[in-house]
Each structure stands twice: as structure tokens, then as C-alpha cells.
């Protein structure tokens, strides 16, 4: 089945510039120096290797959107975990809507409109995120959660402690069921307590990409607030992490 992009802008009226660009205002074309996939740059001087380019991300989003429509049709509240999941979530929810509209004849159910409301999670404690004593502070979405089926949208599952803390908080706030859609899974670093918790809750989980045990940036993922704007996901050069650690 071919699914169309969820985020291709359509306009019936061509947009014409109010002023023709002059030779002076033209931006030099960098086509000949920047590697590109379908017009999107696929490298950056601070990235040692690109793991997932824009085409791969787009393909993964289509699959995840189809999965949400087929398996989570009765989930109403979608909770992006900011800031990292903002790009993933904004592309995915539009893909879900597009798939729903495309399949509306075939689906034997009505469309449940999404409630989208963000959560914020911050880790505190001595040491890195792999420190078992780290505390995760959760700020819940502002929408009504009582009796709702809630789907967390996360950029990457690392130890799993962030998602575990958020899931617990959502259940405490009255959610009926909590599922998880993540773009990446760094499963090598998963915390045993988190794995046990997800199993006990019989949690529906889907991840698009298995991520190697390396620090990745781009498509929303950051290092010190930077690199989120990269249109691909790549491994940050280790010397850049060491230099500012």
C-alpha cells in the first residue's frame, strides 16, 4: 500500500514573489558542495555518520502512522514529550490524519479526533542519564486524562526511565491505558526496572528504528539545545561531547 506524505504542502494558487529576486539578493546555490537526498542535505561537519536520512524518516513515519490507525484507533490523547519529540510528533500526527482520511471508506469505525497536549520530562541527579538514581520530573499535559487512552510520542527510548516516569504519572492522573510510539530505541541501555514495568502494564509499544549505543542528534534530538534542526539523524562526533563535558 502506498501512503502519501503527511506533510506535503498543497496550494491551488501558485505563490508568486512580490518582488523578483535581483542578482544581489540571490542566495548562492550550494548544490555542488552539499550531498543531498531528494533535495535535503545529508551531512554536517559536527556529525561523524548519518544513521537515518530524511527519506528513511519519512518512510518510517508512514509505517508508524499506518500502525497507529490500525492498532490505536481508540486512542484519543497524544502526548509529545518536548522538546525532543516535537518534529517527530508534528510529522506523525499529520501522517496519521492523512492515513485516516485515505482509509475512511475501509475503516469500520468513525474517526476519533485527536487531543494533542505536550508533556515535559527533565532528569535530575548526580551523574548521567544512565545513573540509576536519577530523578525524572514530569510535567503532565494540561488536557483531561481521566478515563482516556493516551499515546506517548517520544523521540528516543534510552534507559526507559523517562517514559516509565511519564507513564506512571499518566496512570496516576486517571488514564485508562497508556501506549508508546517512539522514533528510536536504544535498547542496549534499557533499565531492567523499566522493562519489567512495561511488561507488567502490558504496554503497547512501537519503535521505528533500533539505535546503536551512541549519542545521536538531529530531527529534534539535541546536544545542549543544539542540532535539533538537522533534517536527518546522525552520530555526534565524540570529541565535541568530550570537549564541552
Least distance to Mg ion, CB of residue 223, Å: 12
Residue 218 in the binding site for Mg ion (CB under 5 A): no
Residue 208 in the binding site for ligand IMP (CB under 6 A): no
Place of cell 536527518: 232
Which of residues 84 and 234 has its CB atom nearest to Mg ion in the complex?
Answer: 84
How many residues of this chain bind Mg ion (CB under 5 A)?
A: 1
Residue 160 in the binding site for Mg ion (CB under 5 A): no
Least distance to ligand IMP, CB of residue 171, Å: 17
Kindly tell me which residue out of 115, 215, 228, 237 binds ligand IMP, with binding defined by CB under 6 A: 215
Residue list 138-197, contact with ligand IMP (CB under 6 A)? 154-162, 186
Q: Catalytic residue at 155? A: no
Residue 221 in the binding site for ligand IMP (CB under 6 A): yes
Residue 148 binds which entry of Mg ion, ligand IMP, none, CB below 5-8 Å type-dependent: none
Kindly tell me which residue out of 6, 84, 141, 218 binds Mg ion, with binding defined by CB under 5 A: 84
The active-site residue, picked from 44, 91, 158, 185, is 158
CB under 8 A, 24+ apart: contacts of 113-116? 113/76, 114/76, 114/77, 114/78, 115/76, 115/77, 115/78, 115/143, 115/148, 116/77, 116/78, 116/79, 116/80, 116/89
Residue 216 in the binding site for ligand IMP (CB under 6 A): yes
Q: How far apart are the first and last CA of the chain?
A: 47
Other CB atoms within 10 A of residue 129 CB? 13
Is the N-terminal amide bond of 145 cis, ω within 30° of 0? no
Q: Which residues are catalytic?
A: 158
Binding residues for ligand IMP, rule: CB under 6 A, are: 81, 84, 129, 154-162, 186, 215-217, 221
Binding residues for Mg ion, rule: CB under 5 A, are: 84
Amino acid at each position: 500500500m502506498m501512503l502519501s506524505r503527511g506533510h506535503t504542502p498543497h496550494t491551488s494558487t501558485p505563490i508568486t514573489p512580490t518582488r523578483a529576486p535581483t542578482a544581489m539578493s540571490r542566495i548562492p546555490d550550494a548544490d555542488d558542495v552539499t550531498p543531498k537526498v531528494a533535495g535535503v542535505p545529508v551531512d554536517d561537519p559536527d556529525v561523524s555518520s548519518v544513521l537515518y536520512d530524511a527519506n528513511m524518516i519519512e518512510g518510517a513515519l508512514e509505517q508508524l502512522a499506518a500502525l497507529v490507525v490500525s492498532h490505536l484507533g481508540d486512542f484519543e490523547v497524544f502526548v509529545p514529550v518536548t522538546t525532543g519529540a516535537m518534529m517527530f510528533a508534528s510529522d506523525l500526527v499529520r501522517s496519521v490524519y492523512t492515513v485516516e482520511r485515505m482509509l475512511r471508506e475501509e475503516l469500520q469505525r468513525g474517526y476519533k479526533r485527536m487531543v494533542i497536549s505536550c508533556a515535559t520530562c527533565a532528569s535530575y541527579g548526580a551523574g548521567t542519564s544512565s545513573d540509576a538514581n536519577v530523578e525524572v520530573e514530569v510535567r503532565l499535559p494540561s488536557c483531561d486524562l481521566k478515563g482516556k487512552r493516551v499515546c506517548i510520542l517520544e523521540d528516543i527510548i534510552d534507559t526507559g526511565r523517562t517514559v516509565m516516569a511519564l507513564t506512571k504519572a499518566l496512570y496516576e492522573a486517571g488514564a485508562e491505558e497508556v501506549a508508546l510510539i517512539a522514533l528510536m530505541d536504544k535498547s542496549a541501555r534499557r533499565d531492567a526496572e523499566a522493562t519489567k514495568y512495561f511488561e507488567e502494564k502490558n504496554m503497547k509499544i512501537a519503535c521505528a528504528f533500533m539505535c546503536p549505543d551512541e549519542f545521536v542528534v538531529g530531527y529534534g534530538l539535541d546536544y545542549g539545545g543544539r542540532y535539533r534542526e538537522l533534517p536527518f539523524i546522525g552520530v555526534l562526533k565524540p570529541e565535541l561531547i568530550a570537549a564541552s563535558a
